[in-house]
Amino acid sequence: MDLCIGIDVSKAHLDLALMNASGAVLGTERITNESKAIRALLKRWHKQFGVTKANALFCLEPTGHYGYLLVEELMRAGLPTWLAHPLDIKHSIGSTRGKNDGSMPSALPIMPVGTTTKPDCWGLVLCA
């Protein structure tokens, strides 16, 4: 995959960060956790960054029902989606205690899992 999109899911919104294969963050965005907003972002990032099912992996922590709508929209669009195990995310970022001053998008800690670890049997990969 050339692009990795890390997504932090909450009830009200989604924080997304887009990273290329060399580790450069190309874009970050916060959107509402609604179908219309998700579809608009996918369309916009397809045009702006060339995000397609052939070159991107969407990576998120399974947070229960708050992520269902997002996963449904990603599947509808045929985009590869990885539900990363929370411990893998935690271990991939190391110690961050006291280091997040609010300037780092909350989706960034999810991204190293998608960029450095190959999805396998413990990471559910959903590909439509």
Q: What is the pLDDT of residue 126?
A: 38
Q: Can you give the pTM of this predicted structure? A: 0.73
How does DSSP classify residue 125? E
Residue range 71-108, pLDDT digits in tens: 999 999 999 998 876 665 555 545 444 444 454 455 55
pLDDT of residue 76: 95
Q: Helix or strand or coil: residue 44? A: helix
Structural domains of the chain ordered from first start: 3-126 (3.30.420.10)
Report the distance separating Cα 60 and Cα 68, nearest Å. 11
pLDDT score of 117 more than 90: no
End-to-end CA distance of the chain: 16
Looking at every residue in the chain, the average pLDDT score rounds to: 76
